[in-house]
């Protein structure tokens, strides 16, 4: 971006590789991630497990609280290990 950063979060089904929901924000506020998560849960139901990286927007109480309250197991990539979340990293690739 010419004047800063934008943060994109997606909730993706690893089996189908379908993006279930997404949000874009110009902050690292957790709310945009929670909104994407809530939309995916409402539209597609509860998965057994959800994997994220260790970004502050995913490790905070607001995001993990939704996961815990709905009984979703939390999985997080190893620190600095982009290949742990290869499906989403593949989505970010440049053509």
Residue of 27, 17, 16, 18 lying closest to 8 (CA atoms): 27
The reported pLDDT for the residue numbered 15 is 87
**pLDDT at site 35:** 97
Question: Which pLDDT value is given to residue 95?
Answer: 45
Cβ proximity of 49 and 72 under 8 Å: yes
Domains in the chain (CATH in brackets) are: 7-88 (3.30.420.10)
pLDDT at residue number 63: 95
Does the CA dihedral 34-32-58-76 come out positive or negative? positive
**pLDDT value at residue 55:** 85
Q: For each of the chain's 95 residues, which pLDDT tens digit applies?
A: 677 888 889 999 988 889 999 999 998 889 999 999 999 999 999 999 998 888 889 999 999 999 999 999 998 876 665 565 666 666 666 54
Residue 34: what pLDDT?
Answer: 97
pLDDT of residue 33: 95
């Amino acid at each position: 971006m010419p004047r800063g950063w934008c943060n994109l979060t997606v909730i993706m089904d690893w089996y189908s590789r379908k993006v279930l929901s997404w949000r874009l924000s110009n902050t690292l506020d957790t709310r945009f991630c929670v909104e994407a998560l809530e939309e995916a849960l409402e539209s597609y139901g509860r998965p057994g497990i959800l994997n994220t990286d260790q970004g502050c927007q995913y490790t905070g109480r607001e995001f993990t609280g939704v996961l815990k309250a709905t009984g979703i197991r939390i999985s997080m990539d190893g620190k600095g290990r982009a290949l742990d979340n290869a499906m989403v990293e593949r989505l970010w690739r440049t053509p």
